[in-house]
């Protein structure tokens, strides 16, 4: 398996509120995007990845053979409670939060958990497929038939999260499982990439005969050329 990652502040933000985690030995990959406009967004995303890393390192070896969805969800619940409690104890961090998209890979089985609008895609046979669902007001309006899908990215509601880690004491997590095959690409990213580039633009880059390292740099460059309004974080795996 080939792995590449990158995290860029972008052109407009003063700091990078994204954090990511790669634990190759555990087959674990995580992208978190601290909530911009909320104090402590950078802290929330860092707390999330640190909490999950600590949980995984302390997990008994036999527990890793358990259902990976359960492992992911338990780690995320712990991170959510930690961020929420820190926000309650520190007024300057009140209502801080973060998105999270996490995946565990064992053999060719991918287990996924997500909260918020960081995304996971599968690229197979030249085609890109988004697996996760954004937890935004715009996405809900599309689901409810109040907005066309083509209008979503340009809508102000696209940046209003309906779920985030750490905002409430409990959190609802979406889960997915996916069977992978040789030469599949798995892309995890913050919305600094997915909001800047259309799916077909991402697909064009992934179709190029390049290393995964070159692909992630090309994706960031393309997002910056389109405006680079947000932090951009990418993890790309080749199976």
Per-residue pLDDT of the chain (239 residues; tens, 9 = 90+): 999 999 999 999 889 999 999 999 999 999 999 985 556 899 999 999 999 999 999 987 666 766 899 999 999 999 999 999 999 998 888 889 999 999 999 989 999 999 999 999 999 999 999 999 999 999 989 888 888 888 888 888 888 999 999 999 999 999 999 999 999 999 999 999 999 999 999 999 999 999 999 999 999 999 999 999 999 999 999 99
Coil/strand/helix, residue 116? coil
Contacts of 239 (CB under 8 A, 6+ apart): 1, 108, 180, 181, 182, 183, 184, 185, 186
Distance CA 52, CA 104 (A): 12
Query: In 10 A of CB 206, how many CB atoms?
Result: 21
Contacts of 72 (CB under 8 A, 6+ apart): 102, 103, 104, 111, 112, 113, 173, 175
For tokens 């036999």, what's the residue?
Answer: 62
Tokens read off for 67: 């259902």
Distance CA 18, CA 43 (A): 10
For tokens 């890109």, what's the residue?
Answer: 128
Domain boundaries, the chain: 2-238
Give whole-number Cα distances, 70 to 13, 28, 103, 196, in Å. 35, 13, 12, 33
For tokens 């990215």, what's the residue?
Answer: 153
Contacts of 236 (CB under 8 A, 6+ apart): 3, 4, 5, 185, 186, 187, 188, 212, 215, 216
Which homologous superfamily does the CATH classification assign to the domain defined by 2-238?
PPM-type phosphatase domain (3.60.40.10)
Tokens read off for 24: 């190759």
pTM above 0.85, yes or no: yes
What DSSP string describes 120-138? Answer: EEEEETTEEEE-S---BHH
Q: What are phi and psi of 178, to 5 degrees?
A: -145, 135
């Amino acid at each position: 398996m080939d792995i590449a990652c990158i995290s860029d502040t972008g052109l407009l933000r003063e700091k990078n509120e994204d954090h990511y985690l790669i634990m190759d030995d555990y087959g674990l990959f995580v992208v978190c995007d601290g909530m911009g406009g909320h104090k402590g967004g950078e802290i929330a995303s860092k707390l999330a990845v640190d909490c999950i890393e600590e949980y995984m390192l302390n997990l008994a070896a036999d527990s890793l053979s358990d259902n990976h969805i359960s492992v992911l969800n338990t780690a995320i619940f712990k991170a959510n409670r930690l961020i929420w409690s820190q926000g309650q104890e520190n007024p300057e961090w009140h209502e801080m939060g973060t998105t999270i998209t996490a995946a565990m890979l064992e053999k060719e089985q991918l287990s996924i958990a997500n909260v918020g609008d960081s995304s996971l895609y599968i690229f197979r046979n030249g085609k890109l497929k988004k697996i996760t669902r954004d937890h935004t007001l715009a996405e809900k309006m599309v689901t409810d038939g109040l907005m066309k899908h083509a209008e979503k990215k340009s809508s102000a509601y696209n940046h209003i999260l309906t779920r985030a880690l750490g905002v409430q004491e409990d959190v609802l997590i979406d889960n997915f499982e996916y069977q992978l095959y040789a030469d599949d690409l798995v892309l995890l990213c913050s919305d600094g990439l997915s909001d800047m580039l259309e799916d077909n633009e991402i697909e064009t880059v992934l179709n190029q005969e390049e290393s995964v390292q070159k692909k992630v740099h090309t994706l960031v460059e393309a997002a910056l050329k389109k405006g680079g309004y947000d932090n951009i974080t990418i993890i790309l795996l080749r199976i």
